[in-house]
A and B are shown apart, each in its own frame.
Chain A
Amino acid sequence: MPGQKIPKFKDMSITDKIKVYNKPKYVYIPLICQNDTNITVAVKKGDYVFKGSIIGKRKGNFRIPIHSSVSGTVVDFEEKLYLNGEKVKCVVIENDFKEKIEDGYNIRKKISDLTKEEFIEIIKNCGIVGLGGAGFPTYVKYNTNQKIDTLIVNAVECEPYITADHMIIKEKCEETLEAIDAIMEINNIKEGIIAIKKGDNTLKNIINNFIGTYLRIKLVEVPNLYPMGWERELIRRVKKVTYNKLPIEKGIIVNNVSTIYAIYEALKLDKPLIERVVTFTGEMLKQPQNVLVKIGTPASEVIEFIEGYKRNKDIKFIAGGPMMGLALSSDDLIISTNLNCVLVVKDTIDIPPIECLRCGKCVQVCPAKLSPVLIKDRINDTLRLKELECERCVECGLCSYICPSKINVREYVKKAKAHVRGEVN
C-alpha cells in the first residue's frame, strides 16, 4: 500500500485564531504564475492603484490577472525572493493604508443563482488559483464541456505542520459549505464530498454541525497517511477510480479548502485573490499560528508581527511544509498565492548517508508507484530511466523520509527527471 504514516506537528499552530496582518508598508507583488514569468505588466512607476486593481496579466493560454493587495502608489520594480528559492520580478507598491477599492464591494445575496458562464468569468477575473501549492488557475478546471459529477473538497492537508485549511474550516465552515453548495448548483454537480483525515474529530464535529442543511454534501474520512492530499491518491481513495491525465476524465474536480473559500469571497464580493491564510509555524517561532496576509508581504515582517524567532542561529527557514518545502537562505521571502506555510525549525545535524541497503522501502511507499532505488542505480542510463517512468514523480519526499540509510532519494529522482526531460527536448 503506498503512503505512509508520518508525524503531524499540527497542534502548535491551531490554538490561536487566525490573526490578520494588513499593515505592510510596502507590498511586493510577484509577477509570476505557476512558475511562468511571462506576464504583461499593466502599471508603471508612479501609478496610483486601488486594492484589487489589475497590475498584470499572464500571457499565453491561461490569461488570469494579478491584483494589487493594497491601495497606494507603484514605486518600483524589484527582484525579490520567491518560494522556489529564486529571485522574481515584483511590483513594489507603497501602502497608503486607506484600503481603497475602485468600485466598492457589491455583496451578492444569493451566489447560487449565477450561471455557469458568469461563475467562470468571476473566478477568472478574480485570479483564483489553487491555493494548495500548485497554483493552477481554478477556472480552467470548471471551463469544460465534460459533465462534472463530483466535487471533492480536499481538507486532508496531509503535510505535517500546515494547518491553514484546518483553521479556515474551523472559522469559516458555514461560508465554505455555502460556496460548495453554490458551485454544485451552478455547475450542476450531483455529488459533493469533503475529504478529511480519519480521526480528525475537531473538523468532523465542526462540519457535522453545519452540514445538515446541505443534503448533497457528504463528509468522507480518508486514512491518515502521507501524501493522502495528493489529488490522484485522494480520488483513488474516495472514488476508487484512477485517471490518466486529469481528474475531469472521470467527471471529478478537486479543490482544496482555501481555494473554496477564495471562490466564496470572489462570488460573494467580487473580491480578487489578494490575501490568503499562511501557517507560520515550527519549534523555533515564539508563537506559531495562522495569519491572514496580503499577497506580496515579506515573510520577515509577518514573523516580527507574531513575536519573531526563538533564536537567530542554527535554524532553518523553510518555504512550504517540511516534506515538499525548500529551505531558504533568507527570511526575505515574499508571500505569494501558492505559499501555504512558512516553517522555522531547528537545524538538526544531518545524518550522513550510508550505502543503500536495497531494503525496498522507497519502492513500497512511493505513491506514484515508482521504484526510486532502481532509478538511483541507473541515474545515468537515460533509456532505462524512461522505462522507469521517473517523470511520474510528484516530489512528495516520502522516499527520502523513509530511507533507513538516510539517502536523499528524492534528489536522485529529481535529477533523473531532469535527465529524461533534457533528453526529450
Chain B
Amino acid sequence: MKEFHLHTGPYIKDKNRTSKMMFHLLIALIPIIIFSFIKNGVIPFVKDKTDFIGLIYPLIFILISCLTTILTEILYVRICLGKKGHNLKTYIMHSYSIFPGLFLALVLPINTPIYALIIGGIIATIIGKMLYGGFGNNIFNPALIGCLFVMTIYGGVISTNGGYLNSYEIDTISSATPLSNVALVDGIGTYNTLVRPYGSLWDFFLGTIPGALGETSALFCILGFIYLTITKVIKWKIPVIYVATVFAITYMIGSMHGLGIWYPLFQILSGGLMFGAIFMATDPVTSPTTPIGQVLYGLFLGILTVIFRYLTPYPEGVLTSILTMNMFVFILDRIGSKARFNFNKSILSFFLAWALILLIGCYIGNTFVKEDETDNKDPNFEIVSKNVVDKVVTYTVTQKGFSGKIKARIVIDDGLIKTIDILEQNDSYFQKIIDANYIDKLIREQETIEKVDTISGVTISSTAVKKMVINTLADYKESGYAE
C-alpha cells in the first residue's frame, strides 16, 4: 500500500527564512560594533585616556545590554507565559530577543550608567515587546522605548557623567553633540559653529564625532544598508525617503540663508539620523508593509525629524519621530493597501506631505535668523540697561539659555568683572552651575575666559552664561569706558 502525505500547498518554498534575515542583520551591525569599539575603546586607550577596562568597555556595554534583554525575555516567558523546557527553547529561538538589547546599547551614550542600561533593557523587553504579545506584535520599536525611558529618567545622570563624550573626546571637544550646538545658537548656524568644532564633514561621514555608541558613523551605516538591501532584508524605501526628506527640507532652509550644500549634509550626517533611518525605522515589525505605506512613512519621518530638531528643545529628533510614526503605521498601511489598486487613494496623504515639507521649510527658513559672521554681535545676547558711573558700568543683560533667557547683572570696573548676579533663569538643572562655583570661576579666570570648561549636564546653559560674560566684556571694550 502506498502512503501519500497530505499538506496544503505550495509544495516548494523559498529558502529564505526569518532566522536567515536576522543573521544578515547581525552581520550588517558587526562593522558598526567594531567601529564603536575602536572609537570609544581603542582610541582613548591608545591616547592614554583610559585603562584596560575602558578599552573593552564598549564591548562590555553592548554585551550587558544584549544579555539583559535575552534574560528578561526568558524569565518573562518562563514566569508569565508558563512555557518550559522545549517550548521555552523554541519560543526563544524564534523571538530574536538579542536585537532590542543590541540596538539599545548602540543608541545610548557611552556614559550611561550600567544600572540604567539594564533597567532600559528590561523596560524595552517587557513594555516595548512582551506586553504586546512578543515578537511580531509590538507596535513600538522596543529598543527605542528603552532608550526613551533611559534618556528621560537618567538623562541628568548621563550628562553629569560626560554625556555623549567618551573619555578621549571629553578633553578635546568642548561642546556635546553637533546637534546640541544647533539648539545653542538658536539660529541656522554657520560652518564655524556647527561643523568646525568637530573637524570637517568628512569626520561626520566617518563617524569620528561625539554621539551615541553606534550611531555616529554614516559610512558603516550606509555599508550596512547596501548589504541589507542586496540580501533583501530591510524595506529600503524607508531610509532612502527618510534621509532624502530631511535633506530636502534642510537644503531649502539652508539655501534661504545662502548656506552651501554642507548644511543639509551636516543635518543628515548628525544626530544618529543615518543609523535611525537604516536600522530603527526599518524594523520590520513596527514599519508599514505596503510599498506606498513605506514611502509615506519615510516622508513623515523626515518631516517630524525636522520639526523636532528646529521647533522643540530636543535637538536629536530621530528617536521621537520613529516612535511617533510607529503609532500611525496601521493608517499608512491602510492607505497603502488601497493605493495598490488605485494610486489616487493615496494622493491626499502625498499632498499633505508635500505641503508640510514646503510649509516647514519656508517657516523655519524665514523665522530662524542666521548668525552674522562678519559682525560678531551675538543675536542671543541683549543689553537691557547699563548704568555708567565713570569707569564702573553696571550691565543688566540677557542671553538665550537652554530654556528661555538667562538674565544677569554684571558689574565691570576698569575692564575687570567685579560681580555677576544671575537674576532670572528657567533651567531646572541650573543649580549645578551654582554648585560647581562656575560663576566664581568665570570671574577668577576672566583673562582666559574662553578656555573655561563648561559644566556637563548643563552644557547649554553654562555655555550661555560664559557667552553672556564675553559679550558684556566686548561691549565694555567697544564703548571705550576704560579710557
Residues in chain A within 8 A of chain B (CB atoms) = 6-7, 9, 160, 309, 312-318, 322-331, 343, 345, 347, 350-351, 354-361, 363-364, 369-371, 373-374, 387-389, 397, 400-406, 408, 410-411
Most buried by A among B8, B137, B294: B8
B344–chain A nearest beta-carbon distance, Å:
14
Q: Which residues of A contact B18 (CB under 8 A)?
A: 354, 357, 359, 404-405
Q: Are B14 and A402 in contact (CB under 8 A)?
A: yes
Partner of A410, one of B10, B135, B287: B10
Determine the distance from Cα of A328 to Cα of B287 in the docked complex, in whole angstroms.
40
Chain B 354-380, CB-CB to A under 8 Å as 1, else 0, gives: 000000000000000000000000000
Q: Are A355 and B10 in contact (CB under 8 A)?
A: no
Given A318-B11, A329-B4, 15 more pairs with CB closer than 8 A: A6-B12, A312-B1, A315-B5, A323-B10, A324-B10, A325-B11, A327-B8, A354-B18, A357-B18, A357-B21, A357-B285, A360-B290, A387-B337, A389-B341, A406-B17
Q: Are A314 and B3 in contact (CB under 8 A)?
A: yes
Q: A397-B9, A411-B8 are in contact. Are A371 and B333 (CB under 8 A)?
A: yes
Q: A354-B18, A355-B137, A358-B289 are in contact. Are A327 and B284 (CB under 8 A)?
A: no
Determine the distance from Cα of A292 to Cα of B14 in the docked complex, in whole angstroms.
32
Q: Judge if B2 is at the interface, Cβ distance under 8 Å.
A: yes
Q: Are B12 and A327 in contact (CB under 8 A)?
A: no
Q: Which residues of A contact B17 (CB under 8 A)?
A: 351, 404-406
Q: Are B341 and A330 in contact (CB under 8 A)?
A: no
Most buried by B among A317, A323, A343, A354: A354
Determine the distance from Cα of A325 to Cα of B136 in the docked complex, in whole angstroms.
30
Q: Which residues of B contact A313 (CB under 8 A)?
A: 2-3
Determine the distance from Cα of A300 to Cα of B417 in the docked complex, in whole angstroms.
105
Q: Are A331 and B2 in contact (CB under 8 A)?
A: yes
Q: Are B4 and A371 in contact (CB under 8 A)?
A: no
Partner of B10, one of A309, A322, A356, A404: A322
Q: Judge if B134 is at the interface, Cβ distance under 8 Å.
A: yes
Q: A328-B4, A355-B136, A371-B333 are in contact. Are A323 and B16 (CB under 8 A)?
A: no
Q: Judge if B94 is at the interface, Cβ distance under 8 Å.
A: yes
Most buried by B among A359, A370, A406: A359
Partner of B4, one of A327, A373, A387: A327
Q: Are B7 and A404 in contact (CB under 8 A)?
A: no
User: What are 21 A-B contacts with C-beta separation under 8 Å?
Assistant: A312-B3, A316-B6, A326-B8, A327-B11, A331-B2, A331-B4, A347-B7, A355-B137, A357-B285, A358-B285, A358-B287, A360-B289, A360-B290, A363-B290, A363-B291, A374-B334, A397-B10, A404-B14, A404-B17, A404-B18, A408-B8
Name the interface residues of B1-36: CB closer than 8 Å to any CB of A: 1-14, 16-18, 20-21
A381–chain B nearest beta-carbon distance, Å:
12
A383–chain B nearest beta-carbon distance, Å:
12
Name the interface residues of B271-303: CB closer than 8 Å to any CB of A: 284-285, 287-291, 294
Determine the distance from Cα of A74 to Cα of B233 in the docked complex, in whole angstroms.
60
Determine the distance from Cα of A269 to Cα of B153 in the docked complex, in whole angstroms.
87
Q: Which residues of B contact A327 (CB under 8 A)?
A: 4-9, 11
B333 and chain A: residue at smallest CB distance: A374
Determine the distance from Cα of A347 to Cα of B9 in the docked complex, in whole angstroms.
12
Determine the distance from Cα of A260 to Cα of B1 in the docked complex, in whole angstroms.
39
Most buried by A among B2, B288, B336: B2
B136–chain A nearest beta-carbon distance, Å:
4
Majority-rule SS of A interface residues: loop
Q: Are A370 and B284 in contact (CB under 8 A)?
A: no
Q: How many residues does chain B have at the interface if contact means C-beta atoms less than 8 Å apart?
A: 42
B273–chain A nearest beta-carbon distance, Å:
23
Q: A323-B12, A401-B13 are in contact. Are A357 and B284 (CB under 8 A)?
A: yes
Q: Which residues of A contact B2 (CB under 8 A)?
A: 309, 312-313, 315, 331
Partner of A7, one of B12, B134, B284, B290: B12
Determine the distance from Cα of A109 to Cα of B402 in the docked complex, in whole angstroms.
96
The 9 closest A-B pairs by CB, nearest first: A360-B289, A355-B136, A397-B10, A371-B337, A347-B5, A354-B94, A322-B11, A369-B340, A317-B4
Q: Are A400 and B13 in contact (CB under 8 A)?
A: yes
Q: Judge if B338 is at the interface, Cβ distance under 8 Å.
A: yes
Determine the distance from Cα of A399 to Cα of B25 in the docked complex, in whole angstroms.
22
Q: Judge if B235 is at the interface, Cβ distance under 8 Å.
A: yes
Determine the distance from Cα of A327 to Cα of B3 in the docked complex, in whole angstroms.
12
Determine the distance from Cα of A364 to Cα of B236 in the docked complex, in whole angstroms.
12
B459–chain A nearest beta-carbon distance, Å:
40
A396 and chain B: residue at smallest CB distance: B10
Q: Are A355 and B134 in contact (CB under 8 A)?
A: yes
Q: A358-B285, A400-B13, A401-B10 are in contact. Are A364 and B291 (CB under 8 A)?
A: yes
Q: A6-B12, A360-B288, A404-B14 are in contact. Are A370 and B340 (CB under 8 A)?
A: yes
Determine the distance from Cα of A325 to Cα of B4 in the docked complex, in whole angstroms.
15
A369 and chain B: residue at smallest CB distance: B340
Q: Which residues of B contact A355 (CB under 8 A)?
A: 94-95, 134-137
A358–chain B nearest beta-carbon distance, Å:
5
Determine the distance from Cα of A26 to Cα of B341 in the docked complex, in whole angstroms.
50
Q: Which residues of B contact A343 (CB under 8 A)?
A: 11
Determine the distance from Cα of A411 to Cα of B340 in the docked complex, in whole angstroms.
21
Name the interface residues of B412-458: CB closer than 8 Å to any CB of A: none
Q: Are A401 and B12 in contact (CB under 8 A)?
A: yes
A110–chain B nearest beta-carbon distance, Å:
45
Determine the distance from Cα of A401 to Cα of B336 in the docked complex, in whole angstroms.
23
Q: Are B9 and A371 in contact (CB under 8 A)?
A: no
Determine the distance from Cα of A309 to Cα of B134 in the docked complex, in whole angstroms.
45
Name the interface residues of B60-83: CB closer than 8 Å to any CB of A: none
B343–chain A nearest beta-carbon distance, Å:
11
Q: Which residues of A contact B14 (CB under 8 A)?
A: 6, 401-404
Q: Are B336 and A371 in contact (CB under 8 A)?
A: yes
Determine the distance from Cα of A182 to Cα of B158 in the docked complex, in whole angstroms.
83
